[in-house]
């Protein structure tokens, strides 16, 4: 921050390229007080929550069906090898063609970004469950649903948490990228659109204010939410 401030004030660099920290934090608190930055952040978080929930459910279904069915497992392997390497932003033209411009398209991009890392980590968790867990379940004559509920899901939970962290990071990249392209629908523009609009109007401090908000949210979820979940999970079920 000190190096940034020295360069911004004394190097002669245009304030459009490198605004001072004072103007950046002033823009940040202005965005907080007038509500625009908070509303934009809330819109993005809502889309991410919808995408994470939907994508996690799809990933869980694919992983469970793959565990119990060789045919579904082969299909999931093929889909994962094809779709996992594709960035969500690369699918934007196709998603726009199918779903139009708006929040549904952004949600689809988020779901794509969430499903495949979750599938990989969950299936890895299922494969690494110790055999004696399964033997105990069979000795108790657990059916498929009971085996899933009492053994597979709890024992693979550390892997699920790791997958959720990856999915969270990828969903943020997806939503910011998508919103920068077409993320404004009236008052429903998200954080990506907030930063993009500030850039269009040469409001560099406002653009950096959006980046600060993005960093703060990432730090809160990484150091508070996920760390707490991971600590409690590993304490009970061991390392992922």
Spans of all domains in the chain: 39-237
Residue 182: the pLDDT is 66
Q: How far apart are CA 200 and CA 203, in angstroms?
A: 8
Residue 135: the pLDDT is 78
Nearest to 121 by CA among 80, 92, 162: 162
Task: Assess contact for 18 and 33: CB atoms under 8 A.
Answer: no
Q: How far apart are CA 128 and CA 240, in angstroms?
A: 9
Tens of pLDDT, residue by residue over 134-144, are 777 777 777 77
**Domain 39-237's class?**
mainly alpha
Tens of pLDDT, residue by residue over 23-49, are 999 999 998 998 888 988 898 888 889
Tens of pLDDT, residue by residue over 44-103, are 888 889 988 999 899 999 998 988 889 989 999 999 998 888 887 788 888 888 887 777
Residue 231: the pLDDT is 67
How would residue 186 be classed by pLDDT, with cut points 50, 70 and 90? very low
| Prediction pTM value | 0.80
Q: How far apart are CA 124 and CA 114, in angstroms?
A: 16
Our separate counts of H helices and E strands in the chain read 13, 0
User: Residue 100 is encoded by which pair of tokens?
Assistant: 């139009």
pLDDT, mean of residues 186-202: 79
Residue 240: the pLDDT is 42
Mean pLDDT for the chain overall: 83
Residue 180: the pLDDT is 79
**Polymer length in residues for the chain:** 240
Residue 29: the pLDDT is 93
In order of 54, 94, 163, 190, 200, the CA distances from 48 in angstroms are 10, 20, 15, 11, 25
Residue 59: the pLDDT is 92
**Residue 191: how many CB atoms within 10 A of its CB?**
27
């Amino acid at each position: 921050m000190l190096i940034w401030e020295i360069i911004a004030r004394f190097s002669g660099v245009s304030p459009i390229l490198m605004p001072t920290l004072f103007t950046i934090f002033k823009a940040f608190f202005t965005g907080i007080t007038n509500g625009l930055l908070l509303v934009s952040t809330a819109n993005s978080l809502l889309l991410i929550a919808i995408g994470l929930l939907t994508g996690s459910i799809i990933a869980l279904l694919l992983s469970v069906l793959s565990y119990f069915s060789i045919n579904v497992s082969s299909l999931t392997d093929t889909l994962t090898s094809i779709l996992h390497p594709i960035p969500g932003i690369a699918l934007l033209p196709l998603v726009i063609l199918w779903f139009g411009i708006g929040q549904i398209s952004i949600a689809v991009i988020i779901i794509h970004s969430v499903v495949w890392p979750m599938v990989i980590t969950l299936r890895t968790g299922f494969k690494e469950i110790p055999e004696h867990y399964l033997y105990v379940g069979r000795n108790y004559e657990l059916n498929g649903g009971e085996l899933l509920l009492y053994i597979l899901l709890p024992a693979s939970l550390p892997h699920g948490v790791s997958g959720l962290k990856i999915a969270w990071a990828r969903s943020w990249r997806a939503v910011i990228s998508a919103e920068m392209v077409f993320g404004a629908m009236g008052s429903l523009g998200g954080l990506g659109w907030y930063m993009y609009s500030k850039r269009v109007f040469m409001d560099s401090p406002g653009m950096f204010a959006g980046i600060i908000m993005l960093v703060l949210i990432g730090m809160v979820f990484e150091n508070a939410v996920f760390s707490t979940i991971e600590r409690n999970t590993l304490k009970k079920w061991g390392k992922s």
